[in-house]
Structure formats: structure tokens, C-alpha cells
Amino acid sequence: MKTRHGLTAVLVILAALPSAAVVRTALADDEDDDAPQGGEVLSSDQLSKKKREVLLAIPKDETVLINVSKRDMPASPDVLNLGRKSTKAIARCVSDNVDDKLRATCAEMLGRLGDRSALGALQGALEAWDAGVRGAAIGALRKIPDPGNVAPLAKILAREDEEPGNRAAALEALGAQSSGRAVKIVRDALKKPPEALESMRVSAFKGLWKSRHLIDRAELIGDVSYALASTDGALVLAGTFAAGELRAPQLVPALVKLMKNSDTRVRNRAVYALGKIGDTTATRALLEQIPHVRESRMLNNIAFALERLDPRAFYGTARDLVGHKQAQIRMNAAFVLGDVRRPEGLPLLRGALDDKNDMVRLSAVTAIGKLDAKDGEKVLERYVDDPNPSLKRAAIYAIYALSGYKRTDLVWDKLYLVPETKAEAAIALGRANDPRVTQDLLTCLELSQCALGEVEGFMRASKSPDVPGRTLLAWTKGRSDLTDLVATLKPAGAGSLARSEIQASLAHKAILRALKAIDLTGDLSDAQAGELLTSLLVHENTRLRIHAAVALARADDAAGAAALFRDMDNLPQDQLPSFVRLLGRVTEPKGRARMAPELDKRAAGPDAPMAVAAAAVRFTWDPEQGIFRMLAALGGATRVERDLAEKYLLHDERPLVTELLRRALAREGRLPVKDQLRRILDLRADRAAAKRP
Amino acid sequence: MRARSLTLSRVLSWLVLSWLVLSAAACAQNPAARAPGTYDAPTPAGEPRASLQVTVDLEPASDCDERFDLALYEDRGVELVSWDDGPGCSGRHVAVRYLPGRVKKEALLRRLEKIARKVREG
């Protein structure tokens, strides 16, 4: 009996052994990345020291990341801080490390660096066993377009065991390569895909759209028509976006059909595109659609489309809508009439003022305030003492806007002197630079009760001696967002405080705060900051070095300018836009003159992100001269160049830039560039409208 | 021998000439080949500039100032339009910087009157 029990126990143990081994393996797979590896146990200090040793070795030893484990790998921001000097070591990490997660991380970093010398490693990683590594490499190759990427990316599509996500990403990455061969591949994937790519027509279309500058206009219209006629909802939606940008009248019939699509997004985008195309053949279809609309956004889109296509038809429709049986539609009609801003809307809105529904009346009052109609003021006078506080408030602000912000006494008497509406009224009065609200707005700013944008104009224009001092005091208490305002106001003592702030922030490792203080010393042209700033040119933090170099270069310091361009050449491509913004602070003619030749050299160079960044700085400094290089970039050979130019042009919100873009659009003969200029102007107009009070 | 080489060079000259003529004709027909002249280009710094200040009433539209600009900039004698900050389409003050060597003030005023409802100088 005893023997039988013993035998049973042995059998149980033997049976359990394989599962135990599996469990052990599973546990090992789930092992914490920071747990000891190779039997080595390190304290937190030792680990930090080891990571630092690896970090310091990266620029000097290209093999240092081959055998590094995830535990010893320095954090990505620290590696990227080394800039392009780290490319070789990271590329070896992608090629030769055995940890797939690390290889994927390294591939992703290479994409952010944008150094073309890493292309070989990334193309090789497309053959990695691990799908995550291949996915990261595809993403990186998308960011570093090159004709040599096309064949390896095409192989991803053909690979039988490839993940669907990687195939989709490869299609979009192919589109980003600006290659005629890639266009053929993605078009085939759109129109006659093999079974494995059947469900990826949207990615193929997105890829094709990225290559649109290479495609003949008629063919491109055919591609968009194909997308619009598809049964794949996502592809149709992508097609409507493209149609809005392409503005081809040939697409009108397909878009008209889509106004009845079951997907509300498709319906809305179709109407939006019809409005942008501006072809009057769409007018009737739009008018016929109105009685069937059940959503306010669609109604607004139709109204805006009609306003462009046929103003008379628009006002006829608007008349019907302000008298519609549904209050929500009457309210939206009033809203649309206000947004169109034309004086013809006044008689219709005047009628809406007698609506029984408070929300419709409120919408009408607000809308009248937006019109280009002086008579609106008279119409609204009777509401300034309305017992409905919302209506009263809206009427007063509408009159204020119609008066060109001259009726300050009305806002003062009716809203500022009432405790419940005082704070908002103070901000409104600040818009007219009314000195009576100085103390209110300073307190509001200090207590972060109002956004800087709401009061910044007032503070800059104010003649009150309290403003500079109290703004500086708030800045020293940590309000870094006030840096530009302090720089404009130039309060006494700001220079020495900024210097002290740099030192204190560095001692406390408050890097962001130190950067702001450095910028302020540059803005203030603080001659006494030179020594402190020069000492920062060798700091290990690249951003600190660059900010210090810019502050020095503004004072025409040769060492600062030289350091600045050394760092520019080493920067990861995804940090170039913030570099451009920083150099935009340079207003000093001597500093600009010293830097201009270096920038021009880079603007003519072969590295597209670097060239467009350099051109963007010159454009920021002198838009009238710089616009032509930016236009050349918009018509550049690669999509990356075109998209970067668009990004920089969108970012600069000055009215002068809008004018230059309009002039360029009026004279542009290259259709893809014309489309992109139109798109930039539309986006700028949307942003400006969103900022309007 | 000399006569033969002369004939050969004459034939070659004709071929080159014909190729040049045909290329020029092809360029004239192909929009892409014409492209370099069809976009905005800088004006030489030394070219004289003048400025015209006007108040305009525009055709009412939500994008009235943009429509005005796009129509005006088609004239390459117009260098830059600067608007006042005011909203709306009527009574807008605008400064037009132009190149008197390419467009005379009178012609510019006529063009402004064509694209705006009302134009008052000053």
C-alpha cells in the first residue's frame, strides 16, 4: 500500500514537471524588464551609473547598443538629446541587438532622428522575424523617404505571414516615398488588390493621396471618383476629404449622391466638399436636401455651401429655415446667418427676435452682433434691459461688437457694475483698452482666472505703471507663460532677475523654467548675461545649449552663432520645428545678418527637413523675401518637403503671411501647389474664425 | 571631300534647328513645361514702388476680402495689399503697394472699381 502511494506520488510529480517548466518559461517571458539579468543585481544608483556609461559611449562607440539589455538602455529622450551623433549606435541596435522590443524602440528613434545614413539598417529590419520590429521600421522609413525604400516596403505587402497592421502601414509609407513606382503599387492595391490587401483599400488610397503631386490631374480625379463610388465606408470618407481639397467639378455628381449616405460623417464631408468645389450644378441638390436634414451640422454645411454657390438661393432657404416648425432648426438657421456675416441676414434675424423660444431669440441676438450691418445696433437696443439675463448680456455684447468696441459705457453700466457679470465685462472692456479695468485684469491674470490671450493685448497697450512691475512679479513666482509679455514690457530689474532665475532653475534641475529665463535674457538684450550664457554652450542638455546660443547670437556673439549651427546640424528632424520657432525670436538685425549666410547654405542643401527649416527661419524674419523659397518647397520633389512647408506656413498667423499666400494663390499655375495653398488659406481662416470673440 | 563634309554639317545643322523648333513647340503645348513662369516671383529690389490708399465697399460675402485680394493679385503690378483691422465688407481701408512701372495709378483705380462695389481714394 505504501509502495503504491509512493509510486502515485512519483507519477504525479513526473506528470507535473512539463507544466512546471512551461509555467517557469511563461514567468520568465513576463519578467519585469528592470529585474536583474544575467545574475547581476544592481542598486538604483548602480543602474543609473551604468545607463549613464552607455549613454556617454553612444556617440563614440557604435557597438555599445548591440549587447545592451532593456534594463541598461538609457531613456529615449536622453539618447535623442545626443542627436544624429547617436545614429550609428542606434542603427547597430536595430541590426544586431537580439531584444526585439529594444530593436523596435531603436527603429522608432531612427525615424525621429531622420538621418539617412540609417536607411540600410531600417530596410534590413523589414526582414526581422518580429512583427513589432518590422512595424517600427516601416514607421521610420515613412519619415525618411528614399527611392531605395520602395522595394523593401513592397516586399512587406507580398509577405504571406505579415500582420495586417504592417501591410496597411507599408501602403501609407510607400505613398510617402514620392516615387512613381510606389504610385503604381499603391494604385494596384487600391483598384485590383490581391486577397491579402483586399481590406486595405483605405490605406492604399491614403498612400496614393500622399503621392498626389506625382499624379496626372485626370488620373487623380479618377482615383478620387473610384473612392467615392466604393462600397467601403472608410474609403468613401477618405474620398470626400480628398474631393474637398481637389475641388474638381467632375466629382460633383458622386458627391451629390453621397448626401444621402447612411454615415453622417460622409454626408457632412460630401456637402462640405460641394461647397468648396463651388460648382453651381450642386445648388439644386443642396436645396432639395434641406427638408430631409435632421442634424444641425449638416444644415450649417449646406447653408455655407449655398452661400458660396448661390447667395440668392441661400437667403431663400434661410427664410424658410428661420420659420421652420422645429425650434432647433430655427436656432441653427439664426446661427448660420450670423456666421455668414452678411447684412442681408438682418431682416431675417429681426423676425427671429420675436420667436417664442428663448434659445432662438438668443441665437438671433448673438448672430446680429456678428453682421456687417450698422443697423443691428438699433435693432438690439430694446434688449439691453431685458429681464432675461442671457438675452440682455448677449444684446449688450452684440451692440458693443457692432459699435467697433466703442460703446464701453454701455458694457460698464449694464454689466461691469453688476457683480455676476463684472469679470467677463472687464475682459470685454480690456479689448477696447479701457484703463478703468486695469486692476481687475491684473488680478485676473495673477490668479489665473483669465487666459493670457484674453488680456495680453490690453497689458501690452496699457500705460499704467503697475502693469510691468506686477507682470514681472508674477513671472518670478513661476508664471513662465508670461515670458513674452515681460519681454515686451521690459520692466526695470528684469535682466538681473532673469539671470538669477537661470542659475536657480539649473540648481533645481528645472530645465523648462531655465529655458524661459534664458529666452528672456535674450529678449531683454541683457549685456551682463554673456558670461553666464557662454558657460551654458557646453551644457550636456541640447535644448539648454541651443537656447543659450540663440540668446548670445542675438547679441551678435560669434561663438554663440557657431554653437547654434553645430547643434542645428546634429538635431533630430522632429525637433527642427521647435528650433525654427526659437530662432523666430531673433529680431536684432546684426544677429540676423550673421546667421543669414549659414541658414541660406542649409536652405539650399539636400536634406529636405533641414533645408525647409532653414528656409522657414528666413521666412519668419522676412516673409516678403522668404515666401519664394517656401513656395519652392511647396512645389518640392518630395511629399515631406511639401508637408513641412505647409506646416511652417500654417504656423505663422501674421496677416502679412495671409496676404502673401493669397498673392501666391492668385498667381500659381502648378495645380498641386495651388491645391495646397488653397488648403493652407482655408485652415488659416478656420483658425482665425475659431479665435474670434 | 570638303564638299561632302559641308553637306554633312548642313544636314546636322538642319537637324539641330528642327529639333529646337519642335522642342519649343512641344514646350508651348505642355503646361508642365510652361510651369516655371506661372507662379509668384520676386520683384527686383530696385524697381520703384508706390502706394495707394483707398476705402472700399466690397461685394458682401463671408470671405469678401479674400475674393478681392485674389482678383487684385492677378495683376502682377500689384505687390501687396494691407487691410485695416476692421470686420465686414463695407468701409474697409486698404493700402495697395504697386509697381508703377507695370501698372499706372489710373489703371489700378479702374481695376479696383471693377472688383469692389465702391472705391474712394484716401
C-alpha distance from residue B44 to each of A330, A604, A625, B47, B101 (Å): 55, 21, 11, 6, 12
**How does residue A552 score in pLDDT terms, banded at 50, 70 and 90?**
very high
Longest dimension (CA), chain A: 110
Give residue ranges of A with CB < 8 Å to any B CB: 304, 307, 311, 339-344, 372, 404, 624-625, 627-628, 631, 635, 655-656, 659-660, 662-670, 673, 681, 685
Q: Beta strand pairing status for B118-121 and B78-83?
A: unpaired
> Residue B8: which pLDDT band, with cuts at 50, 70 and 90?
low
Q: Would you kindly state where each structural domain of chain A is located, as residue ranges?
A: 465-566, 571-693
Best of B69, B81, B102 to disrupt the A interface (most A CBs within 10 Å) is B69
Tell me chain A's radius of gyration from C-alpha atoms: 31
ipTM for this prediction: 0.84
Q: How do residues A350-389 score in pLDDT, each as one tens digit?
A: 999 999 999 999 999 999 998 888 889 999 999 999 999 9
> What is the predicted pLDDT for the residue at A405?
92
Set of chain A residues whose Cβ sits within 8 Å of the Cβ of B89: 342, 372
Is A307 in Cβ contact with B60 (below 8 Å)?
A: no
pLDDT band at A693 (very low <50, low <70, confident <90, very high): low
Instruction: Measure B19 CA to nearest chain A CA, in Å.
Output: 26
Residue A342 has pLDDT above 50, yes or no: yes
Nearest to A574 by CA among A94, A139, A120: A139
Q: Is B38 in Cβ contact with A669 (below 8 Å)?
A: yes
Cα separation, A58 vs A586, whole angstroms: 33
Considering only the beta carbons, identify the residue of A404, A663, A670 that sits closest to B73: A663
Answer yes or no: do A681 and B34 touch at CB < 8 A: no
Distance from C-alpha of B34 to C-alpha of A133, rounded to nearest angstrom = 46
Q: Of the candidates A307, A655, A660, which has its C-beta nearest B62's C-beta?
A: A307
Q: How far apart are CA A303 and CA A317, in angstroms?
A: 8
Q: Same domain, yes or no, for B24 and B54? A: no
Most B-contacting residue of A346, A375, A662 (CB-CB within 10 A), to test interface: A662
Q: What pLDDT score was predicted for residue A24?
A: 39
Interface contact flag, B82 A685, Cβ < 8 Å? no
Beta-strand relationship, B50-57 and B92-98 = antiparallel
Of A215-224, A273-282, A297-306, give the lowest mean pLDDT range: A297-306
Q: List, in sequence order, every residue forming a beta bridge with B92; answer none if it has no partner.
A: B56
B34, B43, B62, B98: best mutation site toward chain A, by most A Cβ within 10 Å? B62
The pLDDT of residue A27: 37
Band (pLDDT 50/70/90 cuts) for residue A320 is confident
Q: Residue B43 — very low, low, confident or very high, per pLDDT cuts 50/70/90?
A: very high
Spatial contact of B55 and B92, defined as CB atoms under 8 Å apart: yes
Residues A179-211 pLDDT 10s: 999 999 999 999 998 888 888 999 999 999 999
Q: Which residue of A has its CA nearest to B45?
A: A625
Q: Is A355 helix (H, G, I), strand (E, B) or coil?
A: coil
pLDDT at A321 (0 to 100)? 87
- Triad A26, A30, A34: Cα angle to 5°: 145
pLDDT of amino acid A325: 87
Same domain, B59 and B115: yes
Question: Which among A631, A656, A681 is the nearest to B40, CB-wise?
Answer: A631
- Which chain B residues touch A if contact means CB-CB below 8 Å? 31, 34-35, 37-42, 60-63, 66, 69-74, 76, 78, 80-83, 86-90
Q: What does the pLDDT look like over A107-163, one tens digit per residue?
A: 999 999 999 999 999 999 999 999 999 999 999 999 999 999 999 999 999 998 999
Distance from the B73 Cα atom to the nearest Cα atom in chain A, whole angstroms: 5
Q: Are A464 and A476 in contact (CB under 8 A)?
A: no
**What integer pLDDT is reported at residue B61 of this predicted model?**
81
Among A138-147, A325-334, A499-508, B112-121, which is the least confidently predicted range? A325-334
Question: According to the model, what pLDDT value does residue A197 have?
Answer: 82
User: DSSP E strands: which ranges in A410-539?
Assistant: none
Match 470671405 to its residue by C-alpha cell.
Answer: B63
Rounded CA gap, A692 and A670, in Å? 33
Residues of B in contact with A667 (CB under 8 A): 38-40, 73-74, 76
Residue B94, min C-alpha distance to chain A (Å): 12
Which of A342, A667, A669 lies nearest to residue B73, judging by beta carbons? Answer: A667
Give phi and psi for A151, each to the nearest 5.
Answer: -60, -50
B98's enclosing H/E stretch is strand B92-98
Q: Does residue B22 sit in the same domain as residue B76?
A: no
Q: How far is the alpha carbon of A239 from chain B, nearest alpha carbon, in Å?
A: 26
Q: What value does the mean pLDDT take over residues A253-272?
A: 94
For residue A372, list chain B residues with Cβ-Cβ distance below 8 A. 60, 87-90
Residue A5 — pLDDT band, cuts 50, 70, 90?
low
Distance from CA of A621 to the nearest CA of B (A): 16
CB-CB neighbors (< 8 A) of A670 in chain B: 35, 38-39
C-alpha span between A157 and A147 (Å, rounded): 17
In a domain, B44, yes or no: no
Task: State the pLDDT at residue B36.
Answer: 45
What confidence score (pLDDT) does residue A31 get?
41
- With respect to residue B107, please indicate whether it lies within any of the assigned structural domains: yes
Instruction: Check whether B23 has a pLDDT greater than 50.
Output: no
For residue A154, give how far its alpha carbon lies from the nearest alpha carbon of chain B (Å): 30
Tell me: do B18 and B74 sit in the same domain: no
Residues of B in Cβ contact (< 8 Å) with A666: 69-74
How many angstroms away from the CA of B18 is the closest CA of chain A? 29
Same domain? For B65 and B112 the reply is yes
Which positions in chain B touch A669 (Cβ < 8 Å)?
Answer: 31, 34-35, 37-39
User: Do A307 and B81 make contact, defined as CB atoms within 8 angstroms?
Assistant: no
Transcribe A609-625 into DSSP letters: HHHHHHHHHHHHH-HHH
**What CA–CA distances, in Å, run from A93 to A129, A130, A138, A392, A432?**
15, 15, 16, 67, 60
Contact A681 B66 (CB under 8 A): yes
What does pLDDT average to over chain A? 91
Q: Which helix (H) or strand (E) holds B95?
A: strand B92-98
CB–CB of A484/A520 below 8 Å?
Answer: no
Q: Residue B63: its chain A contacts at CB < 8 A?
A: 685
Q: Which pLDDT band holds residue A691 (cuts at 50, 70, 90)? A: confident
The residue that leads in pLDDT, A215 or B7, is A215
Pair (B14, B66) in one structural domain: no
CA gap A637, A644 in Å, rounded: 12
Of B41, B62, B82, the CB nearest to A341: B62
Q: What residue numbers bound the domain in which B17 lies?
A: 2-37
Q: Are residues B69 and B17 in the same domain?
A: no
- Position A2 confidence tier, pLDDT thresholds 50, 70, 90: very low
pLDDT of residue A293: 78
Number of compact structural domains in chain B: 2
Exposed/middle/buried for residue A15 (C-beta within 10 Å: 0-12, 13-18, 19+): exposed
How large is the average pLDDT for residues A70-80? Answer: 95
Q: Is residue B7 part of a domain?
A: yes
- A156 contacts A126 by C-beta, under 8 angstroms: yes
Are the beta carbons of A486 and A456 closer than 8 angstroms? no
Q: Please say whether the beta carbons of B95 and B69 come within 8 A.
A: no
- The verdict on B7 and B61 lying in the same domain is no
Q: CA angle, corner B91, sides to B87 and B93, nearest 5?
A: 80
> In this model, does residue A18 exceed pLDDT 90?
no
Q: What is the rounded CA–CA span in Å between residue A347 and residue B108? A: 36
- pLDDT tens readout for residues A419-448: 999 999 999 999 999 999 999 999 999 999
Let me know if A57 is exposed, middle or buried by CB neighbors in 10 A (0-12, 13-18, 19+): middle
What's the CA dihedral at A179, A114, A652, A603 to 10 degrees? -80
> CB under 8 Å to A245, separation ≥6 — which residues?
A276, A675, A678, A679
- Bridge partners of B83, per DSSP, are B94
Backbone angles phi, psi at B91, to 5 degrees: 65, 30
The beta strands (E) that lie in A400-450 are given as none
Q: What is the pLDDT at residue A454?
A: 94
Q: φ, ψ for residue B48 (rounded to 5)?
A: -65, 145
Provide, as residue numbers in chain B, all residues whose Cβ is less than 8 Å from the Cβ of A344.
Answer: 60
DSSP state of A450: S
> Number of A:B CB contacts under 8 A?
81
- Judgement on whether residues B22 and B66 belong to the same structural domain of the protein: no
Same domain? B65 vs B28: no
Does A41 score more than 90 pLDDT?
no
Q: Are residues B105 and B55 in the same domain?
A: yes
Q: Chain A: nearest CA to B88, how far in angstroms? A: 5
Chain B residue with CA closest to A338: the answer is B62
Instruction: Cell numbers for A207, please give them.
Output: 498612400
Search chain B and give the residue with CA nearest A635.
B39
Q: Are residues B78 and B112 in the same domain?
A: yes
